[in-house]
Amino acid sequence: MNRVFLFTAGAILVLFEVFTGFFLYTQKYGFSVNGIKQYIHGNPELFIQPKTIYGLIEVHFPHFFVVFLTAFVLMHFFYFFRLGKIHFFTAVAVFLLAFANFSSVFIVFFWKELAVFKLISAVLFNISFIFTAIFLVFTILKKHLTGTATDKLR
């Protein structure tokens, strides 16, 4: 099978994964600071149980591993291109925002007032991941269609 097709299909699957993750995020937390606080600290009026630190670790550790593995695979596709500043910036941004997104749950556990940090980090992480996947698809297609693809990509 053609490598360009496989790389493009992989990047498109990552896009679907990000959109699914964003949908599930809005279902779990809602798209508000109050929803994040209620999910972590509970709300007796809505019968939402507060989360324990063990419960947060149990839920977030597998997601932490899978998201970083997916980000690593996506960034690994950049190996096939000459590393420019934009490639480096997107890789660093995705990893830092992913770490901020996962660590923010534990920050909110101890400081309710920083729930806005969880919301901002989740939105920025999803935007950076989407930008990286789209950027990768267009870079692959541009290199292949113009005939400037290296032997590694063909």
Q: What gap in Å lies between CA 103 and CA 95, rounded to an integer?
A: 12
Q: How far apart are CA 71 and CA 78, in angstroms?
A: 11
Is residue 152 assigned to a domain? no
Q: Is the dihedral of CA 56, 122, 33, 30 positive or negative?
A: negative
What pTM was computed for the model? Answer: 0.76
pLDDT along the chain (154 residues), means of 10: 73 82 84 85 86 85 84 77 74 86 83 85 87 81 70 50
In-domain check, residue 19: yes
Residue 154 lies in a domain: no
Q: What pLDDT score does 138 carry?
A: 81
| Domains held by the chain: number | 1
Return the pLDDT at 139.
78
Residue 43 lies in a domain: yes
Measured distance CA(140)–CA(4) in Å, rounded: 7
Distance CA 38, CA 133 (A): 32
**Residue listed under structure tokens 């420019």:** 84
Instruction: Tell the residue number behind the tokens 């920025």, with chain if given.
Output: 124
Predicted local distance difference test score (pLDDT) of residue 136? 79
Please name the residues in contact with 121: beta carbons below 8 A apart, sequence gap of 6 or more: 97, 100, 101, 104
pLDDT of residue 103: 84
Domain that holds residue 51: 3-146
pLDDT for 150: 55
* pLDDT for res 122: 86
Domain membership flag for residue 153:
no
